[in-house]
Amino acid sequence: MRILIIHEIDWEKKVIFEPHHLAELFSIQGHEVFVIDCAQPDSKNFMKGIHTRILSNYSRVYDDANITLIRPASFLVKGFNRIAHFFSCKKVIEKTIQERGIEKIFLYGSITNGVQTIKIAQERKIPVIYRVLDISHELINMKGIKQIAKKLESKVISNANLVLTTTNDLSLYAIEMGAKKSNVEVFPLGVNFQDFKPMEKSSELQKELNIKENDKVIVFVGTMYTFTGIKNIINKFSSLKKNVKFIIIGEGPNYNRIKSIVKSKKLEKNIILLGFIPQKDIAKFIALADICLNPFEVNSITDRILPTKILEYLACKKPVLSTPLNGTKKILLNGEYGMIYSTERDFVVKLSELLDNELKLKEIGEKGFEYVVKNHDWQKLSNQLIKKIDDVSRKEIE
């Protein structure tokens, strides 16, 4: 099968997540996979964006994978790159479909390249499977642009042949946005068990990070957004015992702000900001944890989702303390499947209680590991997904 995956992220620079795994796993299964992405601003390499680039035999995750990455011409300046892509991507999508004989389109993009994809697919009677990982338009801060983005997102969702969400709450959202109920299904997120797995604590790494044997270690992995909830923990960190160390892995829009708060509170010895770490190395840091965190603020961006980081923590056999996101708690029940929930207000108090109960943490972690191995293995899920994609008929999108 010849599959075209379309996203509005920078495929080369974005932290590895679901689309990277699926594209490469599909190729390993013997399918021809083509990816069209949207390059992020890069003034130092401005000239690279002038022409469409095609990277053959490309992979980032699996050594034996082989995809073709197609990067439409763009104006690689902040504030203009997505506008340029919006107008340039249509011809590239059309050309790719025609020259490569594309049979199915797996679409992640909505605001930047989704409507163009739907229009071309309708004209050529090619089925579109749209994947909902979050609520795209809510990530935009400017009110006027957010409203435009919501309309574009609705048009994509309502016209896709099949909409695959990650939670029941996102399925309801898709229906609210115009999708037919019969065209919406929940399909689970997955984990790469080659990279995320239980590991012994590294004494060398403990020494490098100045973590002592009697220290309690908490870990957060993820992009630093304003809604991530890290600030809440830092502000209440003094209520935790002095032997608590907090490892934070990841960067993002709010990273420098978090770094500044840690410094102003003189918490550098206890809060360890590691920045970006390659995905293949993250598990050895998670291995140091007594518990892992998902402290997201509960809002219109986060409430309906299931963050992938939670499944990756569980794959490392670690218990997870999370705020009660509706999308998450309906799948991962409280006290089961590796999860404990707490409100933002009581989050640090609950964290302190859990750190004093090693037996409970171990039991929760084991339950979570058992669940995630059974239900969220990308190797198994990618096979199931290919069958689902193959079953989508070549009917014209209404």
Question: Using one digit for the tens of pLDDT, what is the confidence trace for 219-269?
Answer: 999 999 999 999 999 999 999 999 999 999 999 999 999 999 999 999 999
**What is d(CA 8, CA 323) in angstroms, rounded to the nearest whole number?**
28
Longest dimension (CA), the chain: 64
User: What's the pLDDT tens digit per position in 308-336?
Assistant: 999 999 999 999 999 999 999 999 998 88
Same domain, 72 and 123: yes
* Amino acid (1-letter code) at residue 193: F
> Please, which residues have CB within 8 angstroms of residue 352's CB and are 6 or more apart in sequence?
239, 240, 241
Question: CATH number of the domain that 361 lies in?
Answer: 3.40.50.2000
The whole-number pLDDT of residue 283 equals: 98
Instruction: Report, as an integer, the average pLDDT of 69-83.
Output: 88
Confirm whether 18 is domain-assigned: yes
SS3 label, residue 394? coil
For residue 311 the two structure tokens come to 């499944």
Cβ atoms of 249 and 219 within 8 Å: the answer is: yes
How far, in Å, CA of 157 to CA of 164, rounded?
10
Question: Is 118 within 8 Å of 151 (Cβ atoms)?
Answer: no
- Amino acid in the structure at residue 87: F
Contact 322, 235 (CB under 8 A): no
The reply to whether 397 falls in a domain is no
Band of the pLDDT at 396, cuts 50, 70, 90? very low
Q: What is the dihedral of CA 102, 103, 108, 109, to 10 degrees?
A: 50
Based on the domain organization, do 362 and 386 belong to the same domain? Answer: no
Place 394 in a pLDDT band, splitting at 50, 70 and 90: low
Residue 398 scores a pLDDT above 60: no
- Kindly state whether residues 354 and 387 are assigned to the same domain: no
- The H or E element that residue 56 is part of is strand 53-58
For the segment 102-129, what is each residue's pLDDT rounded down to a tens digit? 999 999 999 999 999 999 999 999 999 9
Question: Is pLDDT at 361 greater than 60 in this prediction?
Answer: yes
**What value does the mean pLDDT take over residues 47-66?**
93
Both 186 and 209 in one domain: the answer is no
Clarify whether residues 240 and 331 are in a common domain. Answer: yes
Q: What's this model's pTM, rounded to 2 decimal places?
A: 0.94
How many distinct structural domains can be found in the chain? 2
**88's tokens:** 């340039």
Identify whether residues 91 and 111 lie together within a single domain: yes
> CA angle at residue 52 from 107 to 127, to 5 degrees?
25
Query: What pLDDT is attached to residue 169?
Result: 98
- Nearest by Cα to 73 from 97, 94, 48, 93: 48
365 vs 219: CA distance, rounded Å: 14
Residue whose structure tokens are 């920045």: 275
- How much is the mean pLDDT over the chain? 95
Indicate whether 226 and 319 sit together in one domain. Answer: yes
- 273-296 average pLDDT score: 98
| 384, part of any domain | yes
pLDDT in the model for residue 372: 98
Supply the pLDDT for residue 47: 76
Section 368-385 average pLDDT: 98
**Residue 42 maps to a domain:** yes
pLDDT of residue 38: 94
* Residue 193 CB neighbour total at 10 angstroms: 17
Where in the sequence is the domain holding 20, given as residue range(s)?
A: 2-190+378-391
pLDDT at position 55 is 97
Query: For residue 77, what pLDDT is reported?
Result: 87
Higher pLDDT, 156 or 336: 156
Q: Are residues 157 and 294 in the same domain?
A: no
For residue 396, being part of any structural domain is answered with no
Q: Calculate mean pLDDT across residues 204-229.
A: 97
Residue 397: the pLDDT is 43
| Residue from 330, 322, 278 nearest 296 by CA | 322
Is 239 inside a domain boundary?
A: yes
Percentage of the residues of the chain whose pLDDT score is greater than 70: 99
2 has pLDDT over 60: yes
Q: Is the pLDDT of residue 395 over 50?
A: no
Residues 307, 293 share a domain: yes
Angle at which helices 143-159 and 114-124 pack, to 10 degrees? 20
Check whether residue 387 and residue 329 sit in a common domain. no
Same domain, 51 and 186: yes
Residue 210 in domain? yes
Question: Is 256 contained in some domain?
Answer: yes
Condensed to tens digits (0 to 9), the pLDDT of residues 332-354 reads 998 889 999 999 999 999 999 99
Q: Where are the alpha helices (DSSP H) in the chain?
A: 18-28, 81-100, 114-124, 143-159, 168-176, 203-208, 230-235, 255-264, 279-286, 308-315, 326-329, 347-355, 358-375, 378-391
More confident residue, 50 or 44: 50
Cα–Cα distance measured from residue 265 to residue 273, given in angstroms and rounded to the nearest whole number: 14
- 282 and 228 part of one domain: yes
